[in-house]
């Protein structure tokens, strides 16, 4: 039925994990519009927002995979995930050079304020709405009313270091943090590995934070490692703020024990982790202020070697790639997949499937391997 689009070598798959989504693609003018529509849907329309946001995200992912610039609407009118609404937006852009719906959003004050507030570390859309409805419009407003608004610790740091934390992190910064972490790990537990994951792992040149996955070839050598590492970094004066989550890793040999935390959010896992704000030395070229350091968001995640491949896959991302992978695994293969492992639920009791690298996970799921640089959906 979809043979009419085959000759463009676009794979019209049901799941994003079944095709390649490169970082650099040919349809930015459309995907940028979809990103605004997606945000608007999740910020403003809180009743149907999530499903509308997902529809725009899926359309955007499809266009990112499309191997050339779209110039005619009939090229893509039959693509799964590009629904009626999305087609209308693309048509507008093709015909007028812009989408009126997107223009309306961009000229809406509320959208910009919610965007500004959700850029504050620790502030989600519902808090942003609350602050907006109380009449606040700037980060200074939030700072001035910190007491009355009863800001939590994260939000206080978020406001305090707003500019630093919203300045993109580049690769040299990421490497600097990695070096620091490796140095400290060597002093605590030799032979640890510390890999940069997240967006940088997918080839992005900048990001909003630095994600580092830490492990050790010997399974039990990572026990208690995170607290020791964070204590050392704190003593060195590198930590501005830390939020630790330790000791909830409850994977047993055969089955995955679901705790409350695992059930609440699908992307959340129970690995020992520290969400931190760190002081990072500025490079010689950053001479725009007298400060010698800049505040950066850093995620440190610890995983035992038996779970490494799964944690790596999960934390390389993107979020949407993993969502689709997990959904595919469950719907098509009855396999439960997360950052700890995978379990075959076609068997009773479910049987754990082991893997030592990402390739083995794709193979077990009967999927073609997707390179990290092509997981940018
Ligand atoms: P960016 O920082 O460059 O903006 O993008 P990113 O690196 O892709 O996003 P991220 O928010 O830093 O998340 C990195 C990956 O980590 C993402 O694919 C989802 C994954 N991840 C998990 N578990 C958890 C979790 O508990 N919280 C968060 N925030 N991310 C998680 O596997
Ligand atoms: Mn990241
Ligand atoms: Mn992160």
**Marked catalytic residue, from 92, 141, 170, 299:** 299
The span from the CA of 171 to the CA of 176, in Å, is: 9
Atom of ligand 1 nearest to the CA of 207: 3
CB 167 within 8 A of CB 156: no
pLDDT at 256: 60
> Residue of the nearest CA to atom 3 in ligand 1?
207
The Å distance, Cα 198 to ligand 1 centre, comes to 6
Q: pTM for the full model?
A: 0.92
Query: What are the angstrom distances between the C-alpha of 73 and each of 6, 131, 224?
Result: 16, 41, 56
| 92 is an active site residue | no
Q: Starting from the CA of residue 340, give the closest ligand.
A: 1
The Å distance, Cα 16 to ligand 3 centre, comes to 21
pLDDT at 3: 45
**What is the ipTM for the molecules in this complex?**
0.95
Question: Which of 211, 325, 375, 376 gets mutated to test ligand 1 (max ligand atoms within 8 A of its CB)?
Answer: 211
CA 364, 365, 367, 369 torsion: positive or negative?
Answer: negative
pLDDT at 286: 61
pLDDT at 250: 61
Per-10-residue mean pLDDT, the chain, length 377: 53 96 96 97 82 96 96 92 96 97 96 97 95 97 97 97 97 96 98 98 97 97 96 97 85 58 62 96 69 94 98 98 98 97 96 98 98 97
> Residue of the nearest CA to atom 27 in ligand 1?
268
Atom of ligand 1 nearest to the CA of 299: 12
Q: Residue 43: how many CB atoms within 10 A of its CB?
A: 23
User: Which H/E stretch holds residue 162?
Assistant: helix 162-166
pLDDT at 244: 94
CA 333, 334, 338, 342 torsion: positive or negative?
Answer: negative
Residues in the ligand 1 pocket, defined by CB under 6 Å: 198-199, 204, 207-209, 211, 267-269, 314-315, 317-319, 322, 339
pLDDT at 252: 56
| 211 is an active site residue | yes
Atom of ligand 1 nearest to the CA of 319: 18
Q: Residue 345 class from Cβ within 10 Å (0-12 exposed, 13-18 middle, 19+ buried)?
A: middle
The Å distance, Cα 210 to ligand 1 centre, comes to 10
Atom of ligand 1 nearest to the CA of 273: 26
The span from the CA of 340 to the CA of 58, in Å, is: 26
The Å distance, Cα 182 to ligand 3 centre, comes to 18
| 209 is an active site residue | yes
Q: Residues 6 or more apart from 274 whose CB is under 8 A from it? A: 226, 229, 230, 242, 243, 244, 245, 299, 300
Atom of ligand 1 nearest to the CA of 202: 8
Question: Which of 199, 244, 269 gets mutated to test ligand 1 (max ligand atoms within 8 A of its CB)?
Answer: 199
CB 198 within 8 A of CB 317: yes
CB 93 within 8 A of CB 76: no
Taking the CA atoms of the chain, what radius of gyration do you get in angstroms? Answer: 22
Helix (H, G, I), strand (E, B) or coil at 235: helix
The span from the CA of 84 to the CA of 76, in Å, is: 11
Q: Residue 366: how many CB atoms within 10 A of its CB?
A: 11
């Amino acid at each position: 039925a979809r043979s009419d689009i085959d000759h463009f070598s676009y794979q019209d798959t049901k799941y994003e994990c079944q095709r390649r989504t490169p970082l650099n693609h040919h349809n930015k003018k459309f995907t940028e519009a979809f990103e605004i529509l997606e945000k608007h849907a999740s910020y403003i329309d809180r009743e149907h927002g999530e499903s509308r946001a997902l529809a725009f995200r899926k359309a955007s992912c499809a266009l990112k995979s499309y191997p050339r610039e779209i110039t005619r609407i009939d090229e893509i009118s039959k693509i799964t995930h590009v629904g009626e609404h999305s087609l209308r937006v693309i048509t507008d852009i093709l015909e007028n050079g812009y989408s009126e719906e997107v223009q309306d959003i961009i000229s809406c004050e509320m959208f910009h304020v919610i965007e500004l507030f959700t850029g504050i570390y620790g502030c989600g859309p519902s808090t942003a709405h609350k602050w907006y409805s109380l009449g606040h419009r700037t980060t200074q407003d939030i700072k001035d009313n910190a007491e009355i608004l009863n800001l939590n610790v994260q939000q206080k740091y978020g406001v305090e270091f707003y500019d630093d934390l919203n300045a993109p992190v580049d690769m040299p910064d990421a490497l600097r943090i990695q070096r620091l972490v490796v140095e400290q790990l060597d002093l605590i537990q030799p032979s640890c590995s510390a890999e940069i994951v997240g967006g940088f792992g997918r080839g992005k040149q900048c990001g909003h934070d630095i994600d580092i996955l830490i492990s050790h070839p010997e399974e039990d050598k990572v026990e208690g490692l995170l607290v020791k590492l964070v204590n050392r970094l704190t003593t060195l004066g590198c930590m501005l703020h830390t939020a630790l989550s330790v000791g909830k890793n409850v994977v047993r040999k055969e089955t995955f024990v679901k705790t409350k935390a695992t059930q609440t959010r699908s992307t959340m896992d129970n690995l020992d982790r520290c969400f931190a704000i760190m002081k990072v030395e500025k490079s010689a070229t950053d001479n725009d202020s007298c400060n010698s350091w800049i505040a950066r968001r850093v995620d440190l995640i610890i995983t035992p070697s038996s779970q490494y491949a799964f944690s790596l896959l999960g934390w390389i991302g993107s979020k949407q790639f993993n969502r689709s992978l997990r959904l595919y695994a469950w719907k098509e293969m009855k396999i439960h997949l997360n950052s700890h492992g995978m379990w075959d639920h076609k068997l009773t009791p479910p049987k754990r499937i082991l893997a030592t690298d990402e390739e083995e996970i794709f193979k077990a799921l009967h999927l073609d391997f997707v390179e990290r640089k092509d997981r940018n959906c």
